[in-house]
């Protein structure tokens, strides 16, 4: 009888068919180009070299297989630096932009090293590609596989999270710096970090200068398969690969998943006036959407649009996703401007786009979470209609409706109730469950939570674009003073409004996403488009953890409650119908006086009663009944707790108008109300009560 032997060191690795791969004799270099007439491999000894130490020409007869150029170079090893160089037609009218002098980044490069180097010959010298040793001792690490319905996402920037001097660590601004701050993430209670782009993007400009208005956020991809070298603590070429894996491994050990924000909609090569760095010099008409042959379609708002539904580009994206999942153990992806993936090669939006369907059905991505930013920069808005049940979406409607209600906008009560209940209007018609909605009030793009209640207008002058950049529709308010103030009444309402929106977010059906620093009132000084602010404007100020410990405690308590109470993270929609033998509807809506709510009245106050089924044989149904009292009016209001059962006993859980520590009771042991008397709910505030289990 054959016995199965454990092999703890064995890890599934995914080997892309292109790029540079070390073998027993040397290194194999493979690159796609259909129209090139010649291909060359440029080898370098040092990162600072401006000229190659050796140039090896591919033999067109023996080193080309169909449209793939492939060459084995004996005796090469990990750490080798290289570029490609391709000759071919210069015919912009027909989409060809070959430049035989250009140094080209390998589209499948697994790491880059160095910066752009100026040359007296006018040729741009981009960072060099690195042949990578992919060996790493994962020590049995696997994907965590948290159910998405139980997920709490924390959107963060790798560098900005620890680069401030207030982080007080030696590895600040790096993957290793994130590891040092894992205890904080654990204390917060989140289940996943969503990292803003970590694939390679330019740090310096094409002349080797630090960019005055550079892309700090990283939404300007240069090499999709490569972890960003700028976030490595060790600057040895290729060290970013090891350090990124160390970060993922450490986060997994803390039971925290890693979701990557990926940008498969454009590249940093820009429009027809941009530099030739990689894709343009290898097969321009395949990698990009073109108009009339020579002009770049700009559905991304960044100068060009990746041709994601071309079979070659589609294959590259798949190889890239699999590479990050199986070689870096990442747990999911958020697709920036994902509606571009719904456009065909002519740029038209199409039903059932193959790229979107293939990502959701790919067997090697089955363990991952896939999240769409379901719009693009050319007018497509697909929130509620992007993909199938495997796809979750950033719910922009949730953001706008929650902001509008708490600002006091008339006619927003019904919209708030719909968002609180899981946005069935957007997803149920297609058979998609509530967890397809990624709920958020703020994201990296726009005001921070603190600034949302401190500024009516954007203040982006520091971006050097004359305050013309960034969204003008922020649904924000300053409550009397623009920016910081010492007026106590203004600060009081601002603090209350942050708690209102945080509590709404973390008690809504769907999946909540919090932006790094919002839990401690991080500010960007009113800048709602801080993409170029690689400074204290964007960095996490760790002094705020102590200064705003009251807000931190409040958010921690809400996250803990969410993770312990399945009543607020259901997998099916609330129906308003009884769910068990108690004959209590799963959700009921009341006016403050306890009467049935009249949705036609223009009011901004209501009660939501969320009933927890008592089916003891179904762990998903265990939980507590919850009563939420919303008052976004300018006056204090009296409320009553609806009566469904005699002998019900309730505890106060949240009161956003109360001073800490009476604003939240994480142990669910808050004061018990007198049920036969009205309860006072302050203006612009939110109270939550939980029913004691029998």
Q: Which is nearest to 441 in space by CA: 476, 412, 469? A: 476
Q: State whether the Cα torsion 660-664-668-672 is positive or negative.
A: positive
- Give the pairing type, strands 128-130 and 112-113: antiparallel
pLDDT digits (tens, 9 = 90+) for 393-430: 999 999 999 999 999 999 999 999 999 999 999 999 99
Place of tokens 């996490």: 540
- Residue 9, pLDDT score: 41
Residues 286 and 34 sit within 8 Å (Cβ to Cβ): yes
Domains of the chain as residue ranges with CATH: 148-267+307-312+328-535 (3.20.20.80)
Q: How many CB atoms lie within 10 A of CB 5?
A: 5
Provide the 8-state DSSP code for 306. Answer: B
Buried residues in 216-233 as b, exposed as e (16+ CB within 10 A): bbbbbbbbbbbbbbbbbb
Question: Phi first, then psi: what are they for 639, rounded to 5°?
Answer: -125, 160
Please state whether 122 falls in left (phi above 0), alpha (psi between -120 and 50) or beta: left
- Residue 186, pLDDT score: 98
- Residue 147, pLDDT score: 96
Q: Which is nearest to 572 in space by CA: 365, 430, 434? A: 434
Q: CA angle, 667 as apex, 661 and 672 as ends, to 5°?
A: 80
- Rounded CA-CA distance 587/578 in Å is 9
Cα distances (Å, whole numbers) of residue 405 to 58, 402, 443, 475, 594: 64, 5, 18, 10, 21
- Residue 694, pLDDT score: 61
- Residue 108, pLDDT score: 98
- Give the pairing type, strands 90-91 and 96-97: antiparallel
Q: Which is nearest to 393 in space by CA: 363, 366, 421, 433? A: 433
pLDDT digits (tens, 9 = 90+) for 308-323: 999 999 999 999 999 9
The catalytic residue positions are 336, 373
**Ordered mean pLDDT values, 10 residues apiece, the chain (694 residues):** 46 84 94 98 97 97 97 95 98 96 98 92 94 94 96 98 98 98 98 98 73 82 98 97 98 98 97 95 97 92 95 96 97 97 93 93 95 95 93 98 97 97 96 97 98 98 95 97 98 98 98 98 98 96 98 98 95 90 91 92 92 63 88 96 86 98 97 92 98 80
Q: Which is nearest to 111 in space by CA: 266, 228, 279, 21? A: 228
């Amino acid at each position: 009888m054959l016995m199965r032997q454990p092999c703890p060191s064995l890890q599934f690795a995914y080997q892309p068919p292109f790029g540079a791969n070390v073998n027993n004799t040397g290194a194999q270099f493979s690159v796609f180009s259909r129209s090139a007439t010649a291909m060359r491999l440029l080898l370098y000894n040092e990162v600072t070299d401006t000229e190659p130490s050796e140039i090896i020409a591919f033999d067109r007869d023996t080193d080309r297989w169909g449209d793939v150029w492939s060459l084995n170079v004996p005796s090469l090893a990990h750490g080798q630096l290289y570029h490609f160089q391709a000759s071919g037609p210069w015919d912009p009218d027909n989409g060809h932009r070959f430049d035989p002098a250009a140094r080209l980044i390998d589209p499948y490069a697994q790491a880059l090293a160095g910066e752009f180097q100026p040359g007296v010959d006018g040729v741009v010298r981009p960072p060099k590609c690195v042949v990578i040793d992919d060996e790493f001792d994962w020590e049995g690490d696997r994907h965590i596989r948290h159910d998405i319905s139980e997920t709490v996402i924390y959107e963060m920037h790798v560098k900005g999270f620890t680069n401030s001097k207030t982080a007080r660590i030696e590895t600040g601004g790096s993957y290793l710096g994130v590891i040092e701050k894992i205890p904080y993430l654990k204390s917060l209670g989140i289940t996943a970090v969503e990292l803003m782009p970590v694939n390679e993007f330019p740090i310096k400009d094409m002349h080797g200068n630090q960019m005055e208005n550079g892309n700090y956020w990283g939404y300007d991809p240069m090499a999709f398969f490569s972890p960003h070298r700028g976030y490595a603590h060790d600057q040895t070429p290729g060290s970013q690969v090891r350090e990124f894996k160390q970060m993922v491994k450490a986060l997994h050990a803390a039971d925290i998943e890693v979701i990557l924000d990926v940008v498969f909609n454009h590249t940093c090569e820009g429009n027809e006036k941009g530099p030739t760095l990689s894709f343009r010099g290898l097969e321009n008409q395949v990698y990009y959407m073109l108009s009339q042959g020579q002009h770049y379609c700009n559905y991304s708002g960044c100068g060009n649009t990746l041709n994601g539904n071309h079979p070659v580009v589609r294959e590259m994206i798949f190889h890239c996703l699999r590479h990050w999942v199986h070689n870096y153990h990442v747990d999911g992806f958020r697709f920036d401007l994902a509606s571009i993936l719904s456009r065909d090669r002519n740029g038209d939006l199409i039903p059932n786009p193959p790229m979107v369907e293939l990502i959701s059905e790919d067997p090697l991505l089955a363990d991952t979470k896939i999240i769409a930013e379901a719009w693009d920069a050319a007018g497509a808005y697909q929130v509620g209609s992007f993909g199938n049940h495997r796809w979750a979406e950033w719910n922009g409607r949730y953001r706008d409706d929650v902001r509008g209600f708490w600002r006091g906008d008339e006619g927003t009560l019904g919209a708030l109730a719909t968002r609180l209940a899981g946005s069935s209007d957007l997803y149920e018609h297609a058979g998609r469950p509530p967890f397809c909605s990624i709920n958020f009030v703020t994201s990296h793009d726009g005001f921070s939570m603190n600034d949302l209640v401190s500024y009516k207008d954007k203040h982006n002058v520091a971006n050097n674009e004359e305050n013309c950049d960034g969204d003008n529709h922020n649904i924000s308010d300053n409550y009397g003073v623009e920016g910081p103030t010492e007026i106590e009444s203004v600060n009081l309402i601002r603090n209350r409004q942050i708690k209102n929106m945080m509590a709404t977010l973390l008690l809504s059906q769907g999946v909540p996403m919090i932006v790094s620093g919002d839990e401690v009132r991080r500010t960007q000084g009113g800048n709602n488009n801080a993409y170029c602010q690689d400074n204290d404007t964007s960095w996490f100020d760790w002094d705020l953890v102590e200064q705003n410990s009251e807000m931190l405690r409040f958010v921690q308590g809400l996250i803990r409650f969410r993770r312990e109470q399945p009543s607020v993270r259901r997998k099916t929609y609330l129906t308003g119908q009884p769910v068990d033998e108690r004959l209590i509807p799963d959700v009921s809506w009341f006016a403050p006086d306890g009467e049935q709510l009249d949705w036609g009245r223009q009011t901004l106050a209501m009660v939501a009663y969320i009933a927890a089924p008592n089916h003891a044989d179904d762990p998903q149904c265990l939980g507590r009944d919850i009563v939420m009292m919303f008052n976004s009016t300018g006056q204090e209001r009296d409320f009553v707790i609806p009566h469904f059962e005699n002998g019900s006993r309730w505890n106060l859980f949240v009161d956003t108008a109360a001073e800490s520590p009476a604003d939240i009771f994480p142990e669910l042991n808050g004061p018990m109300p007198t049920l036969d008397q009205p309860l006072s709910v302050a203006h612009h505030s939110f109270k939550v009560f939980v029913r004691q289990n029998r």
